[in-house]
Amino acid sequence: MLRTLLLGALIVIVPLLAGCQPGGAPGTGTAAGGQGGGSDILMSILPLVLIFVVFYFLLIRPQQKKQKALKEMLSGVKRGDDIVTTSGMIGRVIKIDRDNNLLVEVAPNVRIKFMRSAVAEIVRRPEPARATGVDEEEEDVEPEDEQKDAGASPQRPENK
């Protein structure tokens, strides 16, 4: 939302700044042709500076933050983590070599060696359920299932 707003403001402001020439209308000349030369250069460079500033805050800075977060995530991969690779394979890290290769178990007794840079995401394992004394089956019942069961007609006894 903010990016769209800033981009829209940039589209409106840059042509206005480019059209503003000091010293009167663009077609009229001044008596001393050299007056205002320094401000003309400033006014012609200002839109380019504004464009760079907007691009920095909309594109460059967020990309740098994303790369930094990815680098931290890759350095945090450790043995026992569940990972997703860039190709979509899901597995558990079994071993980390010195040359940044990971040995990943993708199925029982199926191990594949990946480069550390191939890790797209570390999947956090859900914490084990606490013992609350309530059966798990009762917790897993969805409200829709309860409504279906309540609205169902009673079963007819079988005729023998």
pLDDT tens across 70-125, in order?
Answer: 999 998 899 999 999 999 999 999 999 988 899 999 999 999 999 999 999 999 76
pLDDT digits 0-9 by tens, 136-152: 555 545 555 555 555 55
Phi, psi of 51 (to 5 degrees): -65, -45
pLDDT digits 0-9 by tens, 9-42: 667 666 666 665 555 545 555 544 555 567 888 8
Biggest distance spanned by C-alpha atoms of the chain: 116
Sequence-distant (≥ 6) Cβ neighbours of residue 83 within 8 angstroms: 77, 90, 91, 92, 93, 102, 104, 119, 120, 121, 122, 123
- Entry pTM: 0.49
What are the domain boundaries of the chain? 2-21+39-75, 82-123
